[in-house]
Amino acid sequence: MVTRKLPFWMTVIFLILLMGCATTQPKIPIDELSVEPGTSVTLKGKTYKLIGKPISVGETIPSVELRDANTMAKVDLSSMRGSVLFLSIVPSLDTAVCEAQTHYLGEEGDQLSPEIKRIVISRDTPFAQKRFAKEAKLTDLQYLSDYGDASFGKSTGLLIDDLMLLARSVILVDREGKVRYIQVVPEITHLPDMERAFHKAEELQREA
């Protein structure tokens, strides 16, 4: 599996989070590879099946209702036409890897065009998402919760069987609501290639 080491600034953040309990900086690999929705991922080497209807590049993002953490309003991604959507999908914001992925989107993602909508999706409750956003000072992102019947996970083939969490992934949706990029991280303790996704999102934004 092809991996890259986390940038220096991210290792500093994790060292601070550990509050001096470790003598070495944590290293979270970044995966450049991807598996297909509806196949399987691993968690520390143990294989888990991805269940639901697999989504593919070129398809329209499914019409399902998610819950906005800030407003508690129902949100249907398929109705968000006219903007490029950067969907950062994480198993749970209460874990270090998901936190790192979201910090990357919120901080390094500031380089993206402001017209690109940066959205975090997880099965955490909206209340947990809102608390995380405030504590992490990442309130400029939109947080959508799939906490109910996991309709988003089931409609994309990204629901992890048994764990019933969403697979770590990035999906980019163009202005017409079409899926244009998917990375599903093979080992969910690794990070997705956010920089590659940033570049692709900017390419979509420049399209006429």
> Can you spell out the DSSP letters for 117-170?
EEEEEESS-HHHHHHHHHHHT-TTSEEEE-TTT-HHHHHHT-EETTT--BPPEE
What's the pLDDT at 125?
98
The pTM is what? 0.87
CA dihedral for 92, 98, 99, 102, sign (positive or negative): negative
With b for 16 or more beta-carbon neighbours within 10 A and e for fewer, the 102-118 pattern comes to bbbbbbebeebeeebbb
Q: Which tokens sit at 43?
A: 């968690």
What are the strands of the beta sheet with 65-68, ordered from one edge? 74-76, 65-68, 142-145, 117-122, 85-89, 169-173, 179-184
Could you count the other beta carbons within 10 Å of the beta carbon of residue 189? 17
Domains in the chain (CATH in brackets) are 32-206 (3.40.30.10)
36-42-45 Cα angle (round to 5)? 145
CA 129 to chain centre: 13
What's the pLDDT at 20?
34
> What pLDDT, in 10s, does the model give residues 30-77?
999 999 999 999 999 999 999 999 999 999 999 999 999 999 999 999
The stretches in the chain having pLDDT less than 50 are: 1-3, 8-25
- Give catalytic residues, as residue numbers: 98
Whether the CB-CB separation of 180 and 202 falls below 8 Å is answered with: no
For residue 83, with 0-12 CB atoms within 10 Å meaning exposed, 13-18 middle and 19 or more buried, which class applies? middle
Whether the CB-CB separation of 51 and 24 falls below 8 Å is answered with: no
What's the pLDDT at 5?
52
What's the pLDDT at 65?
96
